[in-house]
Structure formats: structure tokens, C-alpha cells
Structure 1
Amino acid sequence: MSTVPHSNDVLPGDVAMINLPEVSERLGISVTRVHDLLREGVLLAVRRGGVVVVPAIFFDDDGEVARFLPGLVSVLRDGGFRDDEILRWLFEEDDTLPGRPADALHGHLAREVIRRAQAMAF
């Protein structure tokens, strides 16, 4: 069993993914540091096709981790949500946003996503 933190793959099959060496390259850090980011909740990963991967949408246009993702994960973890539940919620269509919370993290609706996460967690 892998010691790299990851969840079961609860994501739709069309979600673009990045393997850990690519994440390492994007962020300019070692793969073991990427493992630390996964443990800390800065990033979340799933095992897909036998490989641990991170959703590409978790990165901004500059290749950095999306600004609001770590706080969102922290809020939901503190509220008792498991990582697979967080991932499922992030990639579930929500007509009131509109779209998915994961998409909204990159725009003017990011604070609304955080507010909703806080309400769900408490």
C-alpha cells in the first residue's frame, strides 16, 4: 500500500489530472515535498489507473496551487469531512454557483465557495 496520501477516485473520469512528478516540476519542489503538501491538505490526490494524481484545476494559470484551496480543505477537514467527501463536493455541479466549486475557486465566486464550506462544516 502506498504511503502517499490519496483518496479513492471519486471524481468524474473527464477531470484532467497531473501525476506527482509533474506537480513537483510545476511547483519547483521535490516529489517528497509534494507528499508533504498532500499530508498538510494543501493539495488532495486520488489513485487513478494505479498512479497517484492531483486534479489539474487545483493549480492557477501561473502553475501555483489555487489560492483558496488549502483554506477550503482545512475548513472542511476541521468540520469532519474526509478527503473523498471534499473531492466529491468540489467536483459536483452546482447550478447556484453556476458550475462546480472547484471551478469557482479560480474566480470571483471563490469566497462564496469558502462561505458555503464553512456553513457545511459547522
Structure 2
Amino acid sequence: MTQIDPETDALVGEWLTLREAAKALDTSPNRVKQFIRDHKLLGFIRAGELSIPATFIRDGEVVKGLPGTLTVLADCGFTDQESLRWMFTPDDTLPGAPIDAIRADRGTEVRRRAQALAF
């Protein structure tokens, strides 16, 4: 796992530790690590502990549309840190940040924009 840079950390805001994320998803910490390996979630080292952005989890599940978007960004050559920064950077044309649009069930538009980054 990668250490989070302070600028990206500030963009994200609220984080969950590995154990908190596992509890929120009603699963084991090992399963959360598998979600990270499978690009269903992103995890970073913060204050010496593996952490996940809190907005990636809602109602006991990974936010719908997030895994597909993370896969598209990885396929475009984005690192995990670049993907995270992109997901949380406000975009006036959405409006809001891509993660806000995904949480508002507008993931298709977000993935379309992510795919365009590859060209």
C-alpha cells in the first residue's frame, strides 16, 4: 500500500481504518484488503495505518459504480494516488467531484469521462 500524500489526504476528508471499513462492510479486514487488490476500493497508509476513504462505503456496501470507475482509471494508467486525486477533485461540469456523481448514481457519466482521459 502507498503512503498518502498530504494534498490528496486533504481532498478526501474523512477516512476509515481497515477495521472500521471491515465493520462498515460487515466483513473481515482480509476481505477489505482483497477488495483493494481487486480495485474495488482504494487503500492508503495514513498515520501508519491502512485506511479507506469513508465516502467509498454506503449502507454496508461499496458504492455502486466505484469498482468499475477504479478499473477504468487503472486501465488508463493512473496510479492509485492519481485515481484518488481525480475522484475527489471538483469538476464544475459534473458538478462536484466525480465521487459525488458516483454516489448520486451518475457513474456512467463519470466512467465516460475517465475513459476520455486515456485519449
TM score, norm. by length of structure 2: 0.89
Identity of aligned residues (%): 44
**Which has the higher mean CA deviation after the structures are superposed, 108-117 or 8-17?**
8-17
Instruction: Tell me the equivalent position of 1:37.
Output: 35
2:4 pairs with 1:8:
yes
Cα deviation, residue 108, structure 1: 4.2
Instruction: Tell me the equivalent position of 1:84.
Output: 81
Task: State the alpha-carbon separation in 2 of the partners of residues 38 and 80 from structure 1.
Answer: 17
* Structure 1 stretches of at least 4 aligned residues deviating more than 3 Å after TM superposition: none
Instruction: Tell me the equivalent position of 1:18.
Output: 16
| SS of residue matched to 1:11 | helix
2:51 aligned to which of 27, 50, 53? 53
2:96 pairs with 1:99:
yes
Cα deviation, residue 40, structure 1: 0.8
Task: State the alpha-carbon separation in 2 of the partners of residues 69 and 6 from structure 1.
Answer: 19
Q: Which consecutive residues of structure 1, in runs of 5 or more, have no partner in the other structure?
A: none
Task: State the alpha-carbon separation in 1 of the partners of residues 78 and 117 from structure 2.
Answer: 9
Q: Which consecutive residues of structure 2, in runs of 5 or more, have no partner in the other structure?
A: none
1:66-77 equivalence runs, <5 A: 66-77=63-74
Across the aligned residues of Structure 1 and Structure 2, the Cα RMSD in angstroms comes to: 1.6
Cα deviation, residue 14, structure 1: 6.1
Aligned length: 117
Task: State the alpha-carbon separation in 1 of the partners of residues 72 and 3 from structure 2.
Answer: 18
- Assess if the C-alpha contact under 8 Å between 1:18 and 1:55 holds in 2: yes
TM score, norm. by length of structure 1: 0.87
2:98 pairs with 1:110:
no
**Which has the higher mean CA deviation after the structures are superposed, 93-102 or 104-113?**
104-113
| SS of residue matched to 1:52 | strand
Looking at secondary structure, tell me which structure has more strand per residue. Answer: 2
